[in-house]
Amino acid sequence: MKNTIKVERAKKNITQQELADKLGVSRQTINSIESGRYIPSTTLALKMSHYFDTTVNAIFTLEADDE
């Protein structure tokens, strides 16, 4: 699953730690999601979309091998 979290963070000029604090997760979780090693829960994906004021689909996209 691809994501645009790093881009969204850059738009808000926040670090992984700052985003993690806002969402109630660890910096390692944010790092793992950004690098594609971890797929977030639906709840966490929704929290991210609300924080970035966008849709889940705008942040996360399935790749061919995910289907």
38-54 tens-digit pLDDT: 999 999 999 999 999 99
Is the full-model pTM beyond 0.95?
no
Residues 6+ apart with CB under 8 A from 3: 33, 34, 36, 59, 60, 61
- 3-state SS, residue 4: coil
Q: What CA–CA distance (Å, rounded) separates 60 from 37?
A: 13
Given the candidates 3.40.50.2300, 3.30.2020.30, 1.10.12.10, 1.10.260.40, the CATH classification of the domain at 2-66 is: 1.10.260.40
Amino acid 47: pLDDT:
98
Weakly modelled stretches of the chain, pLDDT under 70? 66-67
